Amino acid sequence: MTTAACGGTHDVLTVEDVSKSFGGVQALDGCTFSMRGGGVTGLIGPNGAGKSTIVNIVTGFVKADRGTVRLGGHGLHSLSPLEIARIGVGRTFQDLRLFDGMTVLENLLVAREARDAREESTSVARRGKRRSARRPNLDAATEVLDRLGLGDGADRWVRELSYAERKLVSLARVLMTEPRVVFLDEPSSGVDLNALDHFGNEIRILRERGAMVGVIEHNVEVIRMWCDDVVFMTRGQVLRQGSPDEVFADSTVLSEYVGGGAAHA
């Protein structure tokens, strides 16, 4: 699949009837929703609802037992994580997964490789320019780090950073891939207001660029602040999709959330 085949600001991602069990645990049970380019969708629900699992399936890290994932009409469900990354689907991990033994800058440059591979696969002419592409990558990393207030820390070891700084590095890494679709897994947890503002700002920039943003969150206020659309999940299914006002006014959603409807298997 070429990048162009999935491009444009009107991309639609559809997850249809996706199920996944891990041994006896039914993590997803006929999960169906959609997202659109230029929009920010919040994925919310109690612990164990299946939010991270759906992101793992969309990004190819976990294979679904059943169901389809399509981006711009093309099936992602049969592709590898690398192929999906090369199409421009990026994500952060709930547990960050940074390279602790590298510097901040090195973490960003490694992340850029998925994007470079994508560019090369869509343009034979670019192959010869690989070496000269290094300088622009450095400039892009510097720009991203400056925007996130990490400009002075480019040469620091990632293992020496605070949790909030590490979280911003995980955001910086996915920004380096210039994603068309990006999932942020629990951006607000464990961070200060400064880092939260940076996440909000970058989400706004991504949206303006026509990217599709999925935000997995527990914090209703954060969802209200950032999202146009909300998918409420519980027990591996989507209970409700709609605007934040619609979803958070739904009495079933409220009782599931307050009641913590994750108590399955």
Residue 49 contacts which entry, ligand ATP, Mg ion, none (Cβ below 5-8 A, type-dependent): ligand ATP
Residue 50 binds ligand ATP (CB under 6 A): yes
Residue 218: CB atoms within 10 A of its CB come to: 15
Binding flag, residue 51, ligand ATP (CB under 6 A) = yes
Q: Which residues pair with 41 in a beta bridge?
A: 214, 229
Q: What distance in Å separates the CA atoms of residue 72 and residue 8, rounded to the nearest whole number?
A: 9
Q: Select from 8, 10, 17, 47 the one that contacts ligand ATP (CB under 6 A).
A: 47
Residue 52 binds to Mg ion (criterion: CB under 5 A)? yes
Least distance CB 94 / Mg ion (angstroms): 5
* Distance from C-alpha of 40 to C-alpha of 22, rounded to nearest angstrom: 29
Buried b (16+ CB within 10 A) or exposed e, 113-147: ebbbebbbbeeeeeeeeeeeeeeebeebbeebbeb
C-alpha Rg value of the chain to the nearest Å: 18
Instruction: Please report, as residue ranges, which positions from 71 to 100 form the binding site for ligand ATP (by CB under 6 A).
Output: 94
> Please, which residues have CB within 8 angstroms of residue 197's CB and are 6 or more apart in sequence?
none
184: contact with ligand ATP by CB under 6 A: no
Q: Output the smallest distance, CB 23 to ligand ATP, in A.
A: 6
For Mg ion, the closer CB: 92 or 241 = 92
| 59 belongs to the binding site for ligand ATP (CB under 6 A) | no
Query: Residue 157 is encoded by which pair of tokens?
Result: 């070891």
Give yes or no for a contact between 91 and 150, defined as CB atoms under 8 angstroms apart: no
**Cβ contacts of residue 181 below 8 Å, gap of 6+?**
11, 13, 35, 37, 71, 88, 89, 90, 211, 212, 213, 214
Using CB under 6 A, which of the segments 5-13, 43-51, 108-116, 157-165 binds ligand ATP? Answer: 43-51
Contact call for residue 15 and ligand ATP (CB under 6 A): no
Among 37, 39, 42, 48, binds ligand ATP (CB under 6 A): 48
x/- mask, Mg ion, residues 58-97, rule CB under 5 A, reads ------------------------------------x---
Chain contacts with ligand ATP (rule: CB under 6 A): 22, 25, 27, 45, 47-53, 94
